[in-house]
Chains A and B, each alone.
Chain A
Amino acid sequence: MAQLPTVRQWLRATSRRAGPWQRLTVLAGTLSTLLLLVQAWAIATVAQRMVLDQAPLNTVLLPLALLPLAFAGRGLLAWLKTRAGARAGIAVRQSIRRELLERLAHLGPLWAQRQHSATLGNRIWDQVDALQSYHADFRPQTLLCATIPLVILAVVFPLNWAAGVILMVTGPLIPLNMIMVGFGARGRQEAQFVEMSRMSRHFLDTLRGLPTLKLFGISRRHADTVYEASENFRQRTMRVLRLAFLSSTALEFFSSVSIAILALYIGFSYLGQFHFGTWGHGIDLFTGLFLLILAPEFYQPLRDLGVHYHAKAEAEAAAEDLIPMLERPVAERQGAEPWQVPEALALRLHQVTGRYAGQRSPALKALDMTIEAGERLAVIGPSGSGKSTLLNILMGFMRLEEGALLARGDDGEETDIARLAPEQWQRSIAWVGQRPVILSGTLADNLRLADIEASEEALHEALNQADLGDWVARLPNGLATTLGDRGQPVSGGQARRIALARAFLRDAPLLLLDEPTASLDRDSEARVLAALERLCRGRTVIMLTHRLALLQLADRVLMLDQGRAVALDTLEALRTSGGPLATDTTREANHVRAFS
């Protein structure tokens, strides 16, 4: 397996998705420094003219006019920087979220089922949002930490090399200083972010477990436990922070010291005590003040970076969670042969073997059988026998480890479905599962899931077929009635029949059923059965079920155990005495017991 990128590599690589916006952010920040030069020039000029030149007031009109303009310009650049940064972050997030959703289709429902659905949702939603500040603020700021000091040094050195040296030595560009500052920031980040988020999780755990605490009658007493836990966290965090702050104050120290040294150096030069650093042409008040005003700005980018450190920590945590999903290689899909959805469909399974990722033995082993067009096959077996695996293979969600699944359409030609794109193959399938999905939306939206172009008449026809005609007639808004969360409640039986109506609309030659009548009351079961009988007509049907009534609809029954076919025959043959489903004679005839 290819090496996954590290968190840092990945974050750096994803920032390219921001397009020009991130560069624009950096550009705005750097240009702002150029306007700072104008501000420094204006203030220093006013002082020079008034203090030393004793010039009349009108000579300072130009600097005084330019000064507010420079401020306004910096304001505009700040606006641009904020907007461009936000855009950069948004661009990155939108691109990553799209990729995640597309990835999910490739990874398939089998992979998704293994993830906790809240975790998966959290990844696609919150973890992606957690990248915002990194791309909008932190990353541009790291670049500004290089550009702004360089611009300032480039201006300072030609004016006065001694001042340049003072800035250089105390400045963050010196690796030793960088290490000290970096160490402080990291220590702080760890203590604050890691410990704080651990504390948040602990609190979250408590809130989520509140019903349990209540049921055991200790919820009230628990308030003190919450407080104590929080206080323990505080003590631990503060122990780290006290040390970490010490080194992160280093930046403050360097910045203060450099201003102090600079001021003393320039002041003593004026007083004739120092005679170096000026490239031989002396130093006037203008130059001195100009240098002094620039000095704090030299350290400002790094101080700003400290403000955004939490964004980095947050993004790194999110990246760690996202990388495995985004960067793990998935098997390339093979070709896409043309495939017409046939009127009738026959299937041949040749040594079909399927295995779940990371499992020692295949879940379905070397299954050989033929299913004729229009045949109804029931599949039974204890849980873990390979029934769902077979269904997943038929639906194109699981790749075969060995063997082939061959489909024969109207022309009598056999096609290996591995050579079709999954969405091509899936067009010939309709499915009714155990827990049909009702999405919040109108009834029509829910039905059109199976056929987006279906007309209202077609919807009504499908509803009638699924025995929902009466129900929809009683609904306040008919097809436009909102279902789901805040809409019309839908009972289990109705949901099942909505799924049936979808299958009618789909009108596919292959019908897959997964316990379509499980845990329904008798009345609902009877209505679903009647609709199923209509639905099965003229289609090839494969159903997973243990319900007798449904088994009686099947032409043949396939019995699986531990991934292997143990019997394949009609229900009657299986139930004859001595057969694997021999009727338990001590009970009523309709209670069937089998122990394998």
Chain B
Amino acid sequence: MSAPSADPASVNLRPWLGQMRPFAGLMALGILLNLIALASSVGLIALSGWFLSAAALAGTSAATAATFNFLLPSAGVRGFAITRTAGRYGERVASHEGTLRLLSRLRRHLYQAIEPLSPTALQRYGSSDLMARLTADVDALDNLYLRVVTPSIVAMGIIVLCGVVIGVFVPAIGIFAALALAISGTLGPWLAWRRGHRLSHHWQALDTDLRARLLERLPALSELLLYGRWQPETEALLDAQRERDQQELALAGLWGRSQLLSQVLLGLTITGVLAMAAWWSVNRDLSPTLIALMGLSVMGAFEAIAMLPQAWQNLGRIQRAAGRLDELTERVPSIAFPAESRAIPDDNGLEIRDLDVRFADGTRALSEFSLTLAPGEHFALLGPSGGGKTTLLNTLVRFVPPTSGSILLGGVPLEQLDEATLRASMAVAPQETHLFVASYRDNLKLGNPAAGDDELYELLQALDLTGWLDDQPDGLDSYPDEGGSSLSGGQLKRFGIARALLSRAPILLLDEPTEGLDERTARRVLATIRARAGSRTLLMITHHAGGLEQLDRIGIMDEGQLLEVGPPQALLENLDSRFSALQQQIVL
């Protein structure tokens, strides 16, 4: 992402933690079972250690060996073996159930946070694949419970338990063990977490840049190869990649050092416990058979502590993800609609008055653009790409706020219409047609859920898509490939037009409906659009001059300004007009 992020260490995770509230019971159960499994694990090894010591001591004489009560410890050992296994299974089921439920909620929550944002602003804000990053970020957030909260609570529980078990015999050793374990478990990971933020942040910045650079170079492959520059570009990219990987290596080193620190502290802890226990057994009344129990309890607790570095590492990742999501919703403006329309449009005419659109980076997409479309008029706006046509369309659907000027629909300013009314008034085929991973029928019916199959077939035929449909294994019930690659660019475009034409909205807005089509198909598509548009107001934008004679009026725009407007014949006859200049080509 281009924008610098706030300090990830200060990201507030509370709202995200709040999302867990409905599943508190389930999650508590997961934690409890996890605690039981781990406590059994510690219990198993510690009890075994004591059992061996006591049995060995008893075994030194035949009399003590015969009276040694082995029933209780052996039952305990078997019991711990069973509770450990059962606890682990139950914990896995409960925690995954909880995590997945949480994930469903998180997705809805994030969707609701992103939904009101202006799609155009979102696009301008994000890097090449903001959405993929967002998805990865939500997936990261669901680790908060499974990989951060649970292990932390469980580790603390085990440490306390370990301290209590030892403390029953010698309180001083118990307190020392618990404190030392807590410090050894958390100090290293905490340091790494603090310092890891900077490295991760730097890595992320380098990675985003490199990715963008690669994506920019790929479409330029022909030119780069032709001019012999692909090889140097490759080297430059790989060099920069090495710099990024250095950060990764430094991060690995950081976590490696945190492990080293933990191990050293744990070594001192267990040595301290053993030494104290040995001293107590010699100088006080501690039974020496308990030395092994104490040592092995501490060792058994390592398993719980070993989860902490992972938890801190994940915490860093989650904070960065949450930080990005928070920042996104803060920085990208949302579109505000009144709860209810303040007036009802008189008709389906459109009036654009002195419209100015400037983006945050200073580029001026529209300047003093004025145009009035009579109700039912069919109008084409012509101009080179980058001339502001798409921005105009985005302003009409309120994806882009005008810097100044106004748009009136049937005499009512757009801002006075509620979202439902605005959307119901306009059917749009945007530049990029998005096909959802759903059947083609469902994709089409987005335009009009009530449309029958007959209407769909009829429309697809009019748009020359029957050949394509015949190739589909299950007709309209077929699914598009992910990414929609089962339709060619021109077919996808027409599919989008079909979707818009199905809608009953009184205004039709089409972005480049004939792009990627050959001349014959383009004319046929235009004729269909005109026929289906009927008495609706039609505004289509295009940089393709062919076939436009059929429309009521055309306008030519460039650099954000309307340069010419008039009926196509009149413009064509005027040899000085830009429209007639555009026609100076051989049409095959």
Asked if A and B bind, the verdict is: yes
Of the A-B pairs whose beta carbons lie under 8 Å apart in the complex, a sample of 18, sorted by A's number, is A47-B53, A50-B278, A50-B291, A82-B259, A104-B221, A200-B136, A211-B399, A212-B434, A215-B397, A263-B48, A271-B59, A284-B56, A285-B53, A289-B53, A427-B228, A484-B216, A502-B227, A522-B578
> Contacts A68-B267, A209-B434; is A98 near B234 (CB within 8 Å)?
yes
Bound-complex Cα distance A502 to B114 (A): 43
A292 and B48 contact, CB distance less than 8 A: yes
**Which residues in A have their C-beta under 8 angstroms from that of B251?**
86
> Contacts A68-B271, A548-B585; is A219 near B115 (CB within 8 Å)?
yes
A230 and B45 contact, CB distance less than 8 A: no
Q: Say yes or no: is B60 at the interface (Cβ < 8 Å to chain A).
A: yes
**Which residues in A have their C-beta under 8 angstroms from that of B271?**
64, 67-68
Q: Say yes or no: is B218 at the interface (Cβ < 8 Å to chain A).
A: yes
Contact of A82 among B212, B220, B252 (CB under 8 A): B252
Contact of B584 among A79, A81, A207, A547 (CB under 8 A): A547
Bound-complex Cα distance A113 to B114 (A): 33
Min CB distance A398 to B, Å, is 12
Bound-complex Cα distance A266 to B55 (A): 9
Min CB distance A267 to B, Å, is 4
Q: Chain B, 128-139, contact with A by CB distance < 8 Å: what is the 0/1 string?
A: 110110111011
B278 and A210 contact, CB distance less than 8 A: no
Min CB distance B466 to A, Å, is 20
B59 and A78 contact, CB distance less than 8 A: no
Chain A residue with Cβ nearest B84: A256
> Contacts A259-B48, A267-B51; is A210 near B89 (CB within 8 Å)?
no
Q: Chain A, 192-225, contact with B by CB distance < 8 Å: what is the 0/1 string?
A: 0000100111111111111111111111101110
> Contacts A216-B503, A267-B52, A380-B586; is A449 near B578 (CB within 8 Å)?
no
Q: Say yes or no: is B77 at the interface (Cβ < 8 Å to chain A).
A: yes
> Contacts A211-B430, A234-B101, A260-B77; is A397 near B225 (CB within 8 Å)?
yes
Q: Say yes or no: is B88 at the interface (Cβ < 8 Å to chain A).
A: yes
B114 and A210 contact, CB distance less than 8 A: yes
Q: Chain B, 278-312, contact with A by CB distance < 8 Å: what is the 0/1 string?
A: 11011000001101100110010000000000000
Contact of A71 among B222, B270, B434 (CB under 8 A): B270
Min CB distance B460 to A, Å, is 18
Q: Say yes or no: is B169 at the interface (Cβ < 8 Å to chain A).
A: no
B260 and A70 contact, CB distance less than 8 A: no
A82 and B256 contact, CB distance less than 8 A: yes
A109 and B221 contact, CB distance less than 8 A: yes
Q: Chain B, 420-464, contact with A by CB distance < 8 Å: what is the 0/1 string?
A: 100110101010011011000000001100000000000000000
B266 and A87 contact, CB distance less than 8 A: no
Q: Chain B, 66-91, contact with A by CB distance < 8 Å: what is the 0/1 string?
A: 00101001100110111011001100
Q: Chain A, 422-436, contact with B by CB distance < 8 Å: what is the 0/1 string?
A: 110011010101001
Bound-complex Cα distance A216 to B448 (A): 9
B56 and A52 contact, CB distance less than 8 A: yes
Contact of B226 among A56, A101, A208, A431 (CB under 8 A): A431
Q: Lowest 5 A-B CB distances belong to which pairs? A: A71-B267, A75-B263, A217-B423, A86-B252, A79-B256
Q: Which of B171-179, B242-250, B467-475 contacts A (4 or more CB under 8 A)?
A: B242-250
Chain B residue with Cβ nearest A61: B275
Q: Say yes or no: is A157 at the interface (Cβ < 8 Å to chain B).
A: no
**Which residues in B have their C-beta under 8 angstroms from that of A71?**
263-264, 266-268, 270
Chain B residue with Cβ nearest A380: B586
Within 8 A of A (CB), among B297-348: 299
Within 8 A of A (CB), among B544-588: 558-559, 575, 578, 580-581, 583-588
Q: Say yes or no: is A120 at the interface (Cβ < 8 Å to chain B).
A: yes
B111 and A222 contact, CB distance less than 8 A: yes
A46 and B278 contact, CB distance less than 8 A: yes
A120 and B218 contact, CB distance less than 8 A: yes
**Which residues in B have their C-beta under 8 angstroms from that of A422?**
225
**Which residues in B have their C-beta under 8 angstroms from that of A146?**
none
**Which residues in A have their C-beta under 8 angstroms from that of B134?**
207
Contact of B263 among A72, A252, A266 (CB under 8 A): A72
Q: Say yes or no: is B371 at the interface (Cβ < 8 Å to chain A).
A: no
**Which residues in A have their C-beta under 8 angstroms from that of B217?**
439
Q: Chain A, 534-563, contact with B by CB distance < 8 Å: what is the 0/1 string?
A: 000000000000111101000000000000
Q: Which of B102-110, B158-166, B529-537 contacts A (4 or more CB under 8 A)?
A: B102-110
A439 and B585 contact, CB distance less than 8 A: no
Q: Say yes or no: is A249 at the interface (Cβ < 8 Å to chain B).
A: yes
B85 and A253 contact, CB distance less than 8 A: yes
Min CB distance B93 to A, Å, is 6
Bound-complex Cα distance A70 to B2 (A): 47
Contact of A551 among B292, B399, B586 (CB under 8 A): B586
Chain B residue with Cβ nearest A525: B581
**Which residues in A have their C-beta under 8 angstroms from that of B84?**
252, 256
A546 and B587 contact, CB distance less than 8 A: yes
B129 and A118 contact, CB distance less than 8 A: yes
**Which residues in B have their C-beta under 8 angstroms from that of A56?**
282
**Which residues in B have their C-beta under 8 angstroms from that of A591?**
580, 583-584
Q: Say yes or no: is A272 at the interface (Cβ < 8 Å to chain B).
A: yes
B219 and A271 contact, CB distance less than 8 A: no
Within 8 A of A (CB), among B12-65: 37, 40-41, 44-45, 47-49, 51-53, 55-60, 62, 65
Bound-complex Cα distance A213 to B134 (A): 18
A260 and B267 contact, CB distance less than 8 A: no
Min CB distance B245 to A, Å, is 5
**Which residues in A have their C-beta under 8 angstroms from that of B59?**
270-272
A238 and B97 contact, CB distance less than 8 A: yes
A215 and B423 contact, CB distance less than 8 A: yes
Bound-complex Cα distance A571 to B513 (A): 32
Contact of B131 among A207, A449, A450 (CB under 8 A): A207
The prevalent SS among residues of A at the interface is helix
B249 and A204 contact, CB distance less than 8 A: no
Min CB distance A473 to B, Å, is 20
Q: Say yes or no: is B519 at the interface (Cβ < 8 Å to chain A).
A: yes
Contact of A108 among B41, B55, B225, B232 (CB under 8 A): B225
Chain A residue with Cβ nearest B266: A71
Min CB distance A172 to B, Å, is 16
A94 and B89 contact, CB distance less than 8 A: no
Q: Say yes or no: is B183 at the interface (Cβ < 8 Å to chain A).
A: no
Chain A residue with Cβ nearest B59: A270
Min CB distance B562 to A, Å, is 13
A90 and B225 contact, CB distance less than 8 A: no
B104 and A231 contact, CB distance less than 8 A: yes
**Which residues in B have their C-beta under 8 angstroms from that of A81?**
256
Q: Say yes or no: is B483 at the interface (Cβ < 8 Å to chain A).
A: yes
B288 and A201 contact, CB distance less than 8 A: no
Q: Which of A12-20, A240-248, A358-366 contacts B (4 or more CB under 8 A)?
A: A240-248
> Contacts A47-B291, A71-B270, A75-B262; is A207 near B88 (CB within 8 Å)?
no
Within 8 A of B (CB), among A542-596: 546-549, 551, 581, 588, 590-596
Q: Say yes or no: is B385 at the interface (Cβ < 8 Å to chain A).
A: yes
Highest count of chain A CB atoms <10 Å: which of B52, B105, B259: B52
**Which residues in A have their C-beta under 8 angstroms from that of B190?**
none
A592 and B585 contact, CB distance less than 8 A: yes
Q: Say yes or no: is A102 at the interface (Cβ < 8 Å to chain B).
A: yes
Chain B residue with Cβ nearest A295: B45
A546 and B585 contact, CB distance less than 8 A: yes
Q: Say yes or no: is A117 at the interface (Cβ < 8 Å to chain B).
A: yes
Bound-complex Cα distance A263 to B97 (A): 35
**Which residues in B have their C-beta under 8 angstroms from that of A215?**
397, 423, 426, 428, 430
> Contacts A50-B288, A51-B289, A60-B278; is A292 near B397 (CB within 8 Å)?
no
Contact of A201 among B78, B128, B232, B482 (CB under 8 A): B482
Q: Say yes or no: is A276 at the interface (Cβ < 8 Å to chain B).
A: no
Q: Say yes or no: is A474 at the interface (Cβ < 8 Å to chain B).
A: no
Chain A residue with Cβ nearest B286: A50
Contact of A426 among B80, B89, B228, B281 (CB under 8 A): B228
A105 and B230 contact, CB distance less than 8 A: yes
A382 and B519 contact, CB distance less than 8 A: yes
B222 and A395 contact, CB distance less than 8 A: yes
Q: Say yes or no: is A381 at the interface (Cβ < 8 Å to chain B).
A: yes
